Structure 1
Amino acid sequence: MLLIDGSYGEGGGQVLRTSLSLSVVFGKPFKIINIRKNRPKPGLQPQHLTCVKACAEISGAELKGAELNSQELIFIPKKKPINKTYTFDIKTAGSTSLLFQTLLYPLALSEGGELILKGGTHVPFSPPYHYLKYVFLPVVDSLGLKAEVSLEKAGFYPKGGGRIIAKIPPWEKFRLPKFAEGFDPENIYIISLISENLPSHILERQAKSAKERLLKKKLKPKEEILEKIKSDSPGTMVFIYSIDRDKVKRVGFTELGRKGYPAEKVGESAVAQFLEFLKTNTQIEKHLADQILIPISFAIIKNNKKNFKYTTSKITKHLLTQAWLIPQFINEINIKILGKEGKSGEVKIERK
């Protein structure tokens, strides 16, 4: 049985989620200790416990230690997931996006399935729904992994209550895309979103400030999308995403609104993140850099390719942690991170 130290690297929920996902894919049992040891509230919190129970449900896993605040867990998967509709409710504003990414690979690499996920959809410290739809999924589609998501209701902090639907077919064709050097934005999109109980002028001010900041840098957005959406808690967001001229690479940058934070600042901050990324002249932004390590690893071992590499705007603890963890489940893979933490660098995924 694999023994995983949950305090390694970023020491948060990522170590647990990646271990669960890969354990189900390969049928490898594991024990994880020191779960979320580096966090203010260590151990399993509601969103992590939902991930554990969801992975256990789809794989018929035996569990030990699956309770709130537990810092140790034994997970023994018993079967491959079957194609059906699964419903999981986090019951807090915990991230549905992170739950989706945890379940994506076990379902895609078996018979596929449909997910109904309830919880947070636009919350801090996780990719919002729009990032999944417009950045993450289109990029992994270039690897042959296809999935569709739709948003029925937004979930902002603190109540959550959002609902997303995901349809995941079996992953049948594995390929590795060709990334052009750097990132040359061909199309830029502004999405300004607010809950329907907030005044429309917030929506417009967010979008206007984002557009003005882009135009100052001679970057013309192709489209501005203004969305009002149902939610239990009030919330706002600006999401900037861009498609590279190679038609494969995408980047996305999020700023969530909050009480006392001017709408103009929300728009400006989202654009500022985009501009900072462009200055690095790298291919992949820091969040996607660690999120695509798993699907690229699968594409390499299934496609008999020897390696794949890309540059990233920032080497994060999340990236270093994934590079350490994935090869423990996928023995054929070696992941090298060239550069210093906090700086831009290069990621190399190699077949041993």
Structure 2
Amino acid sequence: RLTGGTDVPMAPPIDYMRFVFTRNLSLLGAQVEIELLKRGHYPKGGGQVKLRVSPARTLGPLELTDRGGVEGIFGVAHAVKLPKHVAERIADSARRRLLEAGENADIRIDWSPNEHLGPGAGITIWANCSSGSTLGGDSLGKRGKPSEVVGREAAESLLRELRSGAALDRHTGDMIIPYLALARGRSAVTLTEFTSHAESNVWLVERMLGVEFDVTRDGPRWLLRVEGKGVS
């Protein structure tokens, strides 16, 4: 059980970790479940999650350079200690923007008037793709920021990720690097963006594990390759 901020600025929200990152990690053979017990927004924090990890003997390599088609778009819009219509307006705005781009989305409402510290609101949306990968977009509310802006930001974030044709979005691209280095055999994945976080992670993992990443620009996306150590 972990305690802290679940929906805070400058970090992927907990719903991204639950519905995007863990699904991408499972492609390497890692089985991770995150149960959300209580949301924690900035600055109060105090969120709680329960993490369940099924040990894997080794992680398999990941060959994921083509994301394939979008099979479905889903999402969660939440509001804590705020009126329910806040989450509903966020979800409606995201749906409208996605419809403008020709995409339908199934976005559910997670309204918690009393159970969490709050107040706070936000949305995470994700696209499940035929390759098995999942890409996400998200946005957080804040005082003075209209709900409609929150929803539209998240939708536009996801659409930007999808336009590149890469198999993994920028958040997963940041976080999956050590797992690829620990996996058995050669992995190759495409990223929508090679961020400064990813660059730092590559630098650190290369020095810690003695692997060498090959990072190249491939049109609008990035290609990341590495021969993993096969740690068990």
TM-score greater than 0.5 by the shorter chain: yes
Q: What TM-score results when the alignment is normalised by the length of structure 1?
A: 0.61
Q: Which structure has greater strand proportion?
A: 2
Query: Counterpart of 2:121?
Result: 236
Alignment of 1:186 with 2:71, yes or no, is: yes
In the alignment, the residues of structure 2 paired with residue 285 and residue 347 of structure 1 have an alpha-carbon distance, to the nearest angstrom, of 13
Query: Counterpart of 1:174?
Result: 59
Aligned residues of 2:64 and 2:188 also touching (Cα < 8 A) = no
Alignment of 1:335 with 2:223, yes or no, is: no
Aligned residue runs from structure 1 range 104-183, under 5 A = 116-179=1-64, 181-183=66-68
Deviation by residue 1:183-222 (Cα, 9 ceiling, x = unmatched): 5211100211010x2111111111111111111111111x
Aligned residues of 1:239 and 1:254 also touching (Cα < 8 A) = yes
Query: Counterpart of 2:107?
Result: 224
Q: Which amino acid aligns with 1:271?
A: A
Higher RCO (CA 8 Å, separation ≥ 6 residues): 2
Tell me by how many angstroms 1:348 deviates: 1.2
Q: Which amino acid aligns with 1:169?
A: S
In structure 2, runs of 5+ residues without a counterpart are: none
Q: Which amino acid aligns with 2:109?
A: L
Query: Counterpart of 2:196?
Result: 317
Deviation by residue 1:10-46 (Cα, 9 ceiling, x = unmatched): xxxxxxxxxxxxxxxxxxxxxxxxxxxxxxxxxxxxx
In the alignment, the residues of structure 2 paired with residue 176 and residue 337 of structure 1 have an alpha-carbon distance, to the nearest angstrom, of 17
Deviation by residue 1:80-116 (Cα, 9 ceiling, x = unmatched): xxxxxxxxxxxxxxxxxxxxxxxxxxxxxxxxxxxx1
Q: What TM-score results when the alignment is normalised by the length of structure 2?
A: 0.91
Q: Which amino acid aligns with 1:227?
A: D
In the alignment, the residues of structure 2 paired with residue 185 and residue 140 of structure 1 have an alpha-carbon distance, to the nearest angstrom, of 19
In structure 1, runs of 5+ residues without a counterpart are: 1-115
Tell me by how many angstroms 1:237 deviates: 0.6
Aligned residues of 1:285 and 1:313 also touching (Cα < 8 A) = yes
In the alignment, the residues of structure 2 paired with residue 161 and residue 351 of structure 1 have an alpha-carbon distance, to the nearest angstrom, of 37
**CA RMSD of the aligned region, Å?**
1.8
In the alignment, the residues of structure 2 paired with residue 279 and residue 243 of structure 1 have an alpha-carbon distance, to the nearest angstrom, of 14
In the alignment, the residues of structure 1 paired with residue 30 and residue 74 of structure 2 have an alpha-carbon distance, to the nearest angstrom, of 24
In the alignment, the residues of structure 1 paired with residue 194 and residue 203 of structure 2 have an alpha-carbon distance, to the nearest angstrom, of 13
Tell me by how many angstroms 1:260 deviates: 0.7
What is the aligned residue count? Answer: 226
Tell me by how many angstroms 1:171 deviates: 1.9
In the alignment, the residues of structure 2 paired with residue 177 and residue 350 of structure 1 have an alpha-carbon distance, to the nearest angstrom, of 11
Deviation by residue 1:53-84 (Cα, 9 ceiling, x = unmatched): xxxxxxxxxxxxxxxxxxxxxxxxxxxxxxxx
**Which aligned segments of 4 or more residues in structure 1 are displaced greater than 3 angstroms?**
none
In the alignment, the residues of structure 2 paired with residue 128 and residue 184 of structure 1 have an alpha-carbon distance, to the nearest angstrom, of 25
Aligned residues of 2:38 and 2:47 also touching (Cα < 8 A) = yes
